[in-house]
Structure 1
Amino acid sequence: MNHHRILWPLLAMLPIVAAVPGCGRTTPPPVTSPDTGHPGRGAELIARYGCGSCHTVPGVDGANGLVGPPLTRFGARSYIAGELPNSAENLERWITDPQAVEPGTAMPNLGVDPIDAQDIAAYLHTLD
């Protein structure tokens, strides 16, 4: 049996497999949802803080902004702002002080307090 005839096609494919581009991670981090927080209140807070002037947020009246990314299916996303794994804690951190996470980001610091951020995060994680 000629092993070279069997192995040669497999060896020839190695450079192709090695050259496939990736994002540096083989598996995105798991999406987690908050154990605490009140999603209903979070939707109200999204309207109150004016998040919908920049973002489209399903289920929030008037939240149809086009400045920032739409927050549709946010609960199914792997990352927040392309920077942080999508966890409750990271989302609360982003909402309360986005400039500390990504200096110079277009997302302004709206003065959201930690309890409000927890409720907003709870609502956004229901959007999957």
Structure 2
Amino acid sequence: MSHINVTINGRQYRMACEEGQEVRLLKLAESLESRVESLRGKFGEIGDARLTVMAALTACDELLDASNRIRNLENELEALRGVRAAAADRARATQTAVTNALNSAADRIEKTTQVLNRTIGGGVAIG
């Protein structure tokens, strides 16, 4: 377990984090500090606790929006997977139909060739 100092709203806090997560925790603290400073610029000195709560609420608001976008994209992805599966099924059906049609045409050509060979008799065989 590592310990680092972060500064939020002008105050230092000693925080514990997992090994290797120090840089991430510093970036999170910087993001929160930036939000607090932005709100202070908009609203002035309205109290440390209120600024911190407002900053946390704006972060939660962005997180909720991001979660909703992710859920919508996951739903869209699932729908697209369904469309892809249906298209693949149609492609297989079309391929089967074309194969059957070609085999049928080849059979008819073969039968026609046999009839012509019998009709011509002793002449030169066709095919």
Per the shorter chain, which TM-score range? under 0.3
Normalising to structure 2: TM-score of the pair? 0.24
Normalising to structure 1: TM-score of the pair? 0.24
Please identify the structure whose Cα radius of gyration is greater. 2
